[in-house]
Amino acid sequence: MTKARRSRRGMAESGSQFRPKDARIEPVMKAAEDSGLLKGKTGRISGRVSPRLVRQAKRNTGISSDSELIAFALASLAIEDRFLETFDAVRAKVDPDLKLGF
């Protein structure tokens, strides 16, 4: 797909990268790229999903390309940080030997 076509399809051009209108997408895709998860786009995926689900996801993110939407969705899952699970596991306990600076 050409840069011009992507721009017309709802992506904003910034340098050599295209960025969706939704600011939460950039950090996810950057982390996926930094982790090497976006290299070698040779895989193919297909499946049946509700058209309403796809339309709403595109509306919520500003992504208009199916491929870009799938990449964002998969990257979101692949780089999930598990903060909540870790926080719950320690139950807000702090090591008594930890120097907190006060």
Please report, for the chain, the start and end positions of each structural domain, with discontinuous segments joined by +: 3-38+49-80
Residues 25 and 61 sit within 8 Å (Cβ to Cβ) = yes
Angle at which helices 25-34 and 66-78 pack, to 10 degrees?
70
Q: What is the pLDDT of residue 50?
A: 97
Share of the chain above pLDDT 90, in %: 45
Q: Where is average pLDDT lowest: 37-46, 58-67, 70-79, 91-100?
A: 91-100
> Which DSSP state fits 59?
H
Would you say the pTM of this structure is higher than 0.85? no
